[in-house]
């Protein structure tokens, strides 16, 4: 495939394409208006675009099913051996760059699929924000899992299994709840069993990505393109809040059960640095979606508005919970006061009866 792509690329300008297709793309809205542009696409350029899309998908698969487990294993071996060799450090850096590149390609691929009708130009500032966002997010996530696994080896398998199964079955649960028909138009030559295997492999990759970072391409099995076209800010907000809480919990467990091996490591400082590193990844994500996203003019609402609405919902939930607790306490106090009043009235009645009996006996 690579040789074929290079062959097509070097012969693209020498041989004239006998067949030319016309594509229509819309420009980004300017002052509320959007123009439609027609562009001729030759046969060689179309094949190169197909190869480029295939390479992007292959880089995502290689990054999260190959480099991510490799980086986790190498870092775990370094901690157990208490030694970081030059060769191993080089391999870990290359693995991290491979994962970050795969996540970056996943972001760009998701943007192009969601906004296929528009002519998209990604600026260098957007690439830089995505690179910083994914670097902080993936590096801190892998470090947290390795530190937790170094002190609680059995429990880390349970954490990984729950995460993986949760993200694997999540698209299928949404698909079953939507009661949509089974997708049959993925590939004409595939049977129903083959289509099911392809969808399972797709959700397997989706779960592998979400194990380490947020998947920009959200799988939606009832969509013809199998990717959600809507920008769901609330799902992203809930993901990062839960992931931050999970990382903090895993670091806390590591801090409590850490062994003598970590005597020469400033554990509170490392704890704080990892949490700050993950928050830095979230910060660069917010910068990207707020200022550097190539299609930010098409958003119905910004991510800051979504965050504010989510925080308002959490605030109202907390306030409602507090009000229910206060009403419960008031009801308990009132019931206790009524019981005390009844008890005091009973004691007064008994005292009155005893005094009456004593008076009558004296008489």
Distance CA 78, CA 89 (A): 9
How far are the Cα atoms of 14, 17, 20, 44, 252 from residue 7, in angstroms, in the given order? 11, 15, 19, 10, 55
174 is written with which tokens?
């949404």
Q: How does DSSP classify residue 289? A: I
What DSSP element (H or E) covers 24?
A: strand 20-26
Q: What are phi and psi of 75, to 5 degrees?
A: -65, -35
What are the start-end ranges of the H helices in the chain?
2-10, 43-62, 68-81, 86-114, 124-151, 153-178, 192-212, 233-257, 267-287, 303-362
Distance CA 227, CA 345 (A): 71
Are the C-beta atoms of residues 64 and 102 closer than 8 Å to each other?
A: yes
Q: pTM of the entire structure? A: 0.77
The per-residue pLDDT for 232 is 76
| Helix, strand, coil content of the chain in percent (nearest 5) | 75, 5, 20
Consecutive 10-residue averages of pLDDT for the chain (363 residues): 49 54 66 64 54 64 85 88 85 92 88 80 91 94 92 90 93 87 69 81 89 87 78 85 94 87 80 94 91 81 70 72 67 58 52 48 41
Are the C-beta atoms of residues 54 and 29 closer than 8 Å to each other?
A: no
Distance CA 123, CA 103 (A): 17
State the first-to-last Cα distance of the chain, in angstroms, to the nearest integer.
Answer: 120
284: nearest Cα among 96, 140, 137: 137
Distance CA 354, CA 16 (A): 120
Distance CA 248, CA 253 (A): 9
Distance CA 106, CA 102 (A): 6
The per-residue pLDDT for 16 is 52
Question: Which SS3 state, helix, strand or coil, does residue 185 take?
Answer: coil
Q: What are phi and psi of 169, to 5 degrees?
A: -85, -10
HSE-CB at 273 with a 13 A cutoff on CA atoms is 8
The per-residue pLDDT for 127 is 93
CA 81 centroid distance within chain: 32
Distance CA 323, CA 248 (A): 29
The per-residue pLDDT for 161 is 93
The per-residue pLDDT for 5 is 47
Q: Taking the domains of the chain in order of start, what are their residue ranges?
A: 68-295
Question: Which residues, at least 6 apart from 289, have a Cβ–Cβ distance to it below 8 Å?
Answer: 296, 302, 303
The per-residue pLDDT for 358 is 47
CA 262 centroid distance within chain: 30
109: nearest Cα among 209, 197, 3: 209
């Amino acid at each position: 495939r690579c040789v074929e792509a290079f062959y097509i690329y070097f012969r693209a300008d020498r041989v004239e394409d006998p067949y030319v297709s016309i594509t229509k793309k819309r420009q980004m809205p300017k002052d509320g208006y959007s123009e439609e542009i027609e562009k001729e696409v030759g046969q060689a350029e179309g094949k190169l675009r197909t190869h480029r899309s295939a390479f992007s998908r292959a880089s995502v698969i290689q990054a999260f099913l190959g480099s991510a487990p490799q980086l986790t294993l190498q870092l775990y071996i370094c901690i157990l051996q208490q030694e970081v060799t030059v060769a191993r450090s080089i391999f870990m850096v290359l693995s991290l760059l491979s994962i970050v590149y795969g996540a970056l390609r996943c972001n760009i691929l998701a943007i192009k699929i969601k906004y296929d009708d528009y002519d998209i130009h990604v600026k260098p500032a957007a690439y830089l924000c995505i690179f910083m966002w994914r670097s902080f997010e993936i590096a801190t996530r892998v470090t947290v899992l390795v530190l937790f696994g170094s002190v609680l080896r059995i429990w880390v398998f349970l954490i990984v299994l729950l995460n993986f199964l949760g993200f694997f079955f999540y698209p299928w649960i949404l698909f079953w709840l939507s009661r949509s028909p089974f997708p049959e138009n993925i590939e004409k030559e595939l049977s129903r069993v083959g289509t099911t295997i392809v969808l399972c492999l797709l959700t397997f990759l989706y779960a592998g990505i979400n194990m380490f970072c947020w998947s920009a391409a959200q799988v939606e099995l009832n969509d013809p393109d199998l990717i959600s076209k809507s920008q769901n800010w609330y799902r992203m907000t809930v993901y990062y809040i839960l992931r931050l809480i999970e990382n903090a919990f895993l670091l806390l467990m590591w801090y409590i059960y850490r062994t003598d091996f970590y005597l020469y490591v400033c554990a509170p400082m490392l704890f704080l640095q990892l949490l700050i590193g993950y928050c830095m990844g979230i910060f660069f994500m917010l910068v990207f979606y707020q200022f550097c996203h190539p299609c930010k003019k098409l958003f119905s609402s910004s991510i800051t508005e979504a965050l504010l609405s989510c925080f308002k919902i959490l605030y109202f939930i907390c306030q409602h919970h507090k009000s229910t607790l206060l009403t419960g306490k008031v009801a308990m106090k009132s019931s206790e006061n009524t019981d005390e009043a009844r008890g005091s009235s009973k004691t007064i009645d008994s005292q009155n009866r005893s005094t009456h009996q004593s008076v009558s006996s004296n008489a």
